[in-house]
Amino acid sequence: MTPEKQSLFAEHAYLPDGWRRNVLLEWDADGTLTAVTPDTAEIPADVQKAAGPILPGMPNLHSHAFQRAMAGLTEYRAASGNGATDNFWSWRDLMYRFAARITPEGLASVAQWLYIEMLKAGYTSVCEFHYVHHTPEGKRYTNQAELAQRVVDAASAAGIGMTMLPVLYQYSGFGARAPRDDQRRFINTPESLHELLAALRAARPENAALRYGVAPHSLRAVSEQSLRALLDGLDRSAPVHIHIAEQTAEVDACIETEGARPVQWLLDRFDVDGRWCLVHATHVDANETLALAKSGAVAGLCLTTEANLGDGIFPAHEYLDAQGRIGVGSDSHIGVDWRAELRLLEYGQRLTRRQRNVLASAHTPYVADRLFDAALEGGARATGRATGALQAGHRADWLVLDPDHASIAGHAPNNWLSGVVFCEHGETPIRDVYAGGDKLVENRRHRDEEGAYARYRIALAELLK
Ligand SMILES: [Zn+2]
């Protein structure tokens, strides 16, 4: 039985105005914070005490759940011949072979295990950019939302907050090129995608832990007309996510067929604002960087995946200085750890500029604090859900740090985020994780970890047969 109202006391909690002492958190049966009170004089007698300092839970703004099953299986050179190189496109061929084999049951098991890994890492929400919709033959399932529904159910079973973004994938390249045969499980029209979304909404209505939006896959996979048709049928506040400029080859193809770079093209034609998330805005020129920052859209950065795929480096310094919004995602899930995403965001800048503390600002000189704040705010915006801050009206999503962990022990609070983000010493400093007020991870173990891992292993064995 869940009591009507629950509460937790923390000696230290990271509130919107920074670290505060003696904080009482109170939330309702729905998992929404009702009050956050710092400087509480004494702990009320019946209130539990957190095992360490509390941070808000991080939103993960970009995920393709099925790709978790192929992490670590593409790290060898597949291209042959003299001077041959592997790149994003050769990786994509391998990924398509995986996508062709996934079953509804397999997807459910992989997704649930992945979401447990996310929770253990301190991600308390996920935006799922879901594009495998059809049977291996490319036909509709009897329930056309079968696969998306499996993913929604996996999130609910794991306890993570979800923003489900069914993907419109219509073409194989700029100029409305016909889809490839190995894309047959992904293909929809704006109309059929809206039908799928309607079926999904009817079966799994929105609630405080579940939000729907859409994801036009990329400018190479939709046309201007189909993107308009997709957005026209959508509620004006629903999140819209798109892969935008991950690869120089797609930037070149966009210039050739559309006469403009992808980010510029999109900003010129659509009302891009704070409900948009532009994932992998990696290749932007100086004008696009400033225009994107000004639009209020979130740049979705997936540093470990972008490094793994050899994508390139986003001009984070210029963009953040122009007040641009960012968030982070684990995308292909080569790693599932927001700490690594933030670290790599800064390290990419250090290595190219041969400087330190590049992404600090005059206002926030601690790099980890600035990036953590930005990724919380931008990530929450990308989810379209009230999360990412310890304040009344937001989800009761947070992590409890281990105060004895070697990355923070003995340090003053102003260095805690630096230790959490930049130190890599042994196991994670994240001890407990709450989402929607539920304590899902306790002492680094998720409550359903054993069973979910066993099912993941069975799904993986099937996929690798
Ligand atoms: Zn992606």
Q: Residue 162 belongs to a domain with what CATH number?
A: 3.20.20.140
Which residues, at least 6 apart from 69, have a Cβ–Cβ distance to it below 8 Å?
A: 98, 102, 106, 110, 459, 460, 463
Half-sphere exposure (Cβ direction) of 32: Cα atoms closer than 13 Å: 10
Domain assignment of residue 293, yes or no: yes
How far apart are the CA of 220 and the centre of ligand 1, in A?
14
Burial letters 435-461, b for 16+ CB under 10 A, else e: bbbbebbeeeebbbbeebbebbeebbe
* Residue 2 pLDDT greater than 60, yes or no: no
- Measured in residues, the chain has a length of 465
Specify if 69 maps to a domain: yes
* 426 CA distance to ligand 1 middle (Å): 29
Tell me which residue has tokens 């509390």: 54
Among residues 311, 331, 369, 373, the one annotated as catalytic is 331
Tell me, yes or no, if 283 is annotated catalytic.
Answer: no
What does the DSSP 8-state code read for residue 183?
G
110 inside domain: yes
Distance CA 282, CA 262 (A): 11
Residue 458 Cα, ligand 1 centroid: separation in angstroms? 25
Residue 3 pLDDT: 55
Catalytic residue among 62, 280, 333, 394: 280
Least confident span in 78-87, 301-310, 319-328: 78-87
Q: Would residue 362 count as lying in a domain?
A: yes
**Which residues constitute the domain of residue 66?**
58-383
Place of tokens 């900003």: 267
What average pLDDT score do residues 210-229 get? 98
Residue 455 lies in a domain: no
- Interatomic CA distance for residues 414 and 23, integer angstroms: 17
User: Do 158 and 115 contact (CB within 8 A), yes or no?
Assistant: yes
Q: Please give the average per-residue pLDDT across 113-135, as a whole number.
A: 98
Given a cut of 60, whether residue 391 has pLDDT beyond it is yes
CA of 91 to the centre of ligand 1 (A): 13
Residue 420 lies in a domain: no
Beta carbons of 167 and 147 less than 8 angstroms apart: no
Quick check: 371 pLDDT over 50? Answer: yes
Judge whether 280 counts as a catalytic residue: yes
CA of 165 to the centre of ligand 1 (A): 12
Q: pTM value?
A: 0.97
Within a domain: 85 = yes
Distance of CA 368 from the midpoint of ligand 1 (Å): 25
Q: What is the pLDDT of residues 140-179, one digit of tens each?
A: 999 999 999 999 999 999 999 999 999 999 999 999 999 9
Taking the centre of ligand 1 as the mean of its atom positions, its distance from the CA of residue 141, in whole angstroms, is 24
List, for residues 253-274, the tens digit of each pLDDT value.
999 999 999 999 999 999 999 9
How are beta strands 33-37 and 18-28 bridged, if at all?
antiparallel
C-alpha–C-alpha distance, residues 367 and 361, integer Å: 8
For residue 329, being part of any structural domain is answered with yes
pLDDT in tens, 64-106: 999 999 999 988 887 777 777 888 888 898 889 889 999 999 9
Strands 161-168 and 215-216: parallel
Question: d(Cα 320, Cα 299) in Å, to the nearest integer?
Answer: 10
pLDDT of residue 78: 79
Q: Is the pLDDT of residue 1 over 80?
A: no
Centroid of ligand 1 to alpha carbon of 122 (angstroms): 20
Q: In the prediction, which pLDDT does 89 show?
A: 84
Structural domains in the chain (count): 1
What is the pLDDT at residue 83?
Answer: 76
**Pairwise CA distance, residues 246 & 218, whole Å:** 10
Q: Please tell me which residue, 336 or 90, carries the higher pLDDT value.
A: 336
